[in-house]
Chains A and B, each alone.
Chain A
Amino acid sequence: QVQLVDSGGGVVQPGRSLRLSCAASGFTFSTYGMHWVRQAPGKGLEWVALIWFDGSFKYYADSVEGRFTISRDNSKNTLYLQMNSLRAEDTAVYYCARETTVRYFFDCWGQGTLVTVSS
């Protein structure tokens, strides 16, 4: 069945880096756009980044632009989020989500991975 599995979260000090992964299975990963969405503790959903099916275009929320990099390896069916210069306000559960090309909605979500930025 269609499945997204998020991993890579943990506790990290402010200013340090962390890389999240999202392993996809059950569908043709290389034909879908992929997103990262985060949710701070007790808060709402915040869109973070998008990468096109072939990696040709990437978009970021203003809050992470220049610090986070979204990427994908279609040969490994895996999505990544490289997070640099982490701040306390980046503390959140990070979800990967699938979007059918030019359909503009998230039809499948990972289970989420918690990132805690704290000294």
Chain B
Amino acid sequence: QSALTQPASVSGSPGQSITISCTGTSSDVGAYNYVSWYQQYPGKAPKLMIYDVSNRPSGVSNRFSGSKSGNTASLTISGLQAEDEADYYCSSYTSSSTRVFGGGTKLTVL
């Protein structure tokens, strides 16, 4: 049950686009289209942003998009806004029927 690998931090200027990667194995990310992404502000509970690799829940901005290639999933945020500054976590279903999170990525909007 090793954590998925995410970059510790990414940054971008308002209006730019950034991408956060999430690398797993053939037993989790690579095996299923069950990758989800969560946004977390300090001291708050996580919020679902993307599910099933690329689907957005109702109410989430279309500036957020997801994709996957092989064992690596990605979250892209376009048109960066100050309010996007937060921690982002990926999660995947695993072949053991458990779940696994990435280590988290701190997004800084410059």
Contact: B101 with A106, CB < 8 Å? no
- Contact count band on B: 20 to 34
* A37 CB to nearest chain B CB (Å): 8
Contact: A95 with B38, CB < 8 Å? no
Contact: B101 with A45, CB < 8 Å? yes
In the complex, which of the residues A44, A60, A63 contacts B101, with contact meaning CB atoms closer than 8 Å?
Answer: A44
Number of A-B contacts (CB under 8 A): 67
Contact: A105 with B48, CB < 8 Å? yes
Most buried by B among A50, A62, A104, A111: A104
The reply to whether the CB of A59 lies closer than 8 angstroms to some CB of chain B is yes
Contact: A59 with B36, CB < 8 Å? no
**Chain B, 72-110, contact with A by CB distance < 8 Å: what is the 0/1 string?**
000000000000000101010100111111111000000
Spell out B's residues near A (CB within 8 Å). 1, 3, 32, 34, 36, 38, 40, 45-48, 51-52, 57, 87, 89, 91, 93, 96-104
